[in-house]
């Protein structure tokens, strides 16, 4: 019998941060100082994409004077106390030298993937928060890229992260509930998930989402781990939950199909490519394997 032994999820892709974000350094002069210091390492980001050396390491360079005019973000320091700066640049959408996080995340060293997650998450926010939500004035970037300030009313605005829960649902027979989203091909299954609404605890969101999407009532809910998911601005909060009921009523809007899987059955269906699971990049995959007790075969490319 295989049973999950670990109390938490193993190291998740995208979830390893730079050694030290060094938030205390985010003063008004920091970006200019870093651009003037040839020891600074600069990461160029173009609409969520970066360049790499053969896919296995980010391309980093020394600062150049033009960086002072670019949207810039102080990422932090590595173990050798080297400072890292991300700058936003332009690149053609079809330039193959530039690749997005989904393609790079598993290939890059964890801390480099984390730097790109950090930069992409903050730049995604800048891209759609150019104006003050109070008065509409164009805001200014301060605090080394982490804050926008309105010059008219002085209000400050910070990058937002939208919490979403994602969960395994397991019944008394130790079966796992997976759903197929409307619009997904036949055989593609995943854990259920949904955004946290204002006024909700995370546990309440787990119970509401499962009830709404498949009509199952949930008892115990336990936290397993989290993964930043900057597509464009989420954090996925992973839970295990216990089903109190087993009748399935997919809502038809978000979830087209739902079913219970036993372990041997799921392995067999994955091996025969009848069922496809989420790619290894996602916490969904880690949650399913946490229930299963070990790695499952990778989905076909
Ligand atoms: Zn304002």
What pTM does this model have?
Answer: 0.92
In this prediction, residue 6 carries a pLDDT of: 43
CA of 133 to the centre of ligand 1 (A): 7
Backbone angles phi, psi at 292, to 5 degrees: -65, -35
Model confidence band, residue 1 (pLDDT cutoffs 50, 70, 90): very low
Model confidence band, residue 11 (pLDDT cutoffs 50, 70, 90): confident
Query: Tens digit of pLDDT for each residue in 203-231?
Result: 999 999 999 999 999 999 999 999 999 99
In this prediction, residue 54 carries a pLDDT of: 86
Helices (H), the chain: 30-36, 101-104, 110-128, 202-214, 263-271, 283-292
Backbone angles phi, psi at 182, to 5 degrees: -60, 135
CA of 68 to the centre of ligand 1 (A): 25
CA of 162 to the centre of ligand 1 (A): 23
Query: Tens digit of pLDDT for each residue in 173-193?
Result: 999 999 999 999 999 999 999
In this prediction, residue 8 carries a pLDDT of: 77
CA of 136 to the centre of ligand 1 (A): 6
Cβ(43)–Cβ(84) under 8 Å?
yes
In this prediction, residue 189 carries a pLDDT of: 97
Q: Which domains does the chain have, with CATH numbers?
A: 23-128 (3.90.79), 162-292 (3.90.79.10)
């Amino acid at each position: 019998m295989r049973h999950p032994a670990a109390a938490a999820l193993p190291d998740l892709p995208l979830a390893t941060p730079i050694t030290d974000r060094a938030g205390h350094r985010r003063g008004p002069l920091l970006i200019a100082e870093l651009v003037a210091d040839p020891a600074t390492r600069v990461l160029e980001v173009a609409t969520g994409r970066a360049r790499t050396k053969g896919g296995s390491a980010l391309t980093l360079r020394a600062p150049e004077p033009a960086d002072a005019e670019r949207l810039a973000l102080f990422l932090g320091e590595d173990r050798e106390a080297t400072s890292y700066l991300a700058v936003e640049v332009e690149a053609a959408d079809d330039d193959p030298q530039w690749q997005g996080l989904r393609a790079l995340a598993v290939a890059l060293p964890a801390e480099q993937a984390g730097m790109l997650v950090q930069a992409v998450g903050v730049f995604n926010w800048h891209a759609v928060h150019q104006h003050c939500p109070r008065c509409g004035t164009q805001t200014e970037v301060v605090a080394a890229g982490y804050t926008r300030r309105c010059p008219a009313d002085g209000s400050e605005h910070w990058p937002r992260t939208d919490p979403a829960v994602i969960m395994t649902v397991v019944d008394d027979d130790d079966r796992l509930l997976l759903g197929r989203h409307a619009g997904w091909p036949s055989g593609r299954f995943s854990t259920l998930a949904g955004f946290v609404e204002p006024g909700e605890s995370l546990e309440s969101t787990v119970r509401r989402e499962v009830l709404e999407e498949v009509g199952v009532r949930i008892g115990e809910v336990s936290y397993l781990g989290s993964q930043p998911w900057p597509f464009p601005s989420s954090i996925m909060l992973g839970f295990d939950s216990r089903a109190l009921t087993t009748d399935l009523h997919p809502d038809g809007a978000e979830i087209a199909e739902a079913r219970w899987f036993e372990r041997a059955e799921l392995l067999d269906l994955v091996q025969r490519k009848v069922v496809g699971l989420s790619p290894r990049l996602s916490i969904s995959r880690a949650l399913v394997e946490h229930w299963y007790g070990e790695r499952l075969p990778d989905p076909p490319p």
